[in-house]
Amino acid sequence: MKHLVLIFVLLAAPVWALDPSEMLSDPALEARARVIDHEMRCVVCQSETVASSNANWAMDARRTIRELVAEGKTDAEVRDFFVARYGEFVLMNPPIRGSTWALWLAGPVMLLMAGVVSLIYLRGRARATSPQEIALSPDEEDRLREILKD
């Protein structure tokens, strides 16, 4: 059982991206830095925050964030530092303005369009006549009787 626990701990170790040597000694500053870590996107991984990424770039970014926070920079100044270098892509939640409106609206618009298409399809399917409702012509009935006799 002890070996199984050890295996799980070793497999889960990469999940802890923040190296203790990167942490600030002041708990208040470290808390601010961690909030910023979760707001920034790793430009290597692209779908992970800087806080959860093990990429070298993310380690450097965490170190830079802590240096800027220790220098007395505000959270906005730290974010602006990264946006100036990497663009708004580096923010996990970019602000809603001109160029990002399309990104923010794309998801809800696609969901709405899918709902409308589904509704139209389901209504059309419900209105369609079923095979049982279509009556046979007299010629078709005669032909069917001939087939069934054989």
pLDDT tens, residue by residue, 49-98:
998 888 899 999 999 999 999 899 999 999 999 999 988 889 888 777 77
More confident residue, 132 or 140: 140
Of 74, 93, 59, residue with least CA distance to 29: 74
Q: What is the 8-class DSSP label of residue 20?
A: G
Residues 22, 77, single domain; the answer is yes
Residues 59, 104, single domain; the answer is no
Question: Do residues 36 and 75 make contact, with C-beta atoms less than 8 angstroms apart?
Answer: yes
The CATH number for 62's domain is 1.10.8.640
Domain hosting 36: range is 2-95
pTM score, whole prediction: 0.57
| Chain CA centroid to CA 34, Å | 20
Residues 33, 72, single domain; the answer is yes
The angle subtended at Cα 112 by Cα 108 and Cα 116, nearest 5°, is 170
pLDDT at 111 (0 to 100): 95
Least confident residue range of 26-40, 61-75, 118-132 = 118-132
Distance CA 137, CA 139 (A): 5
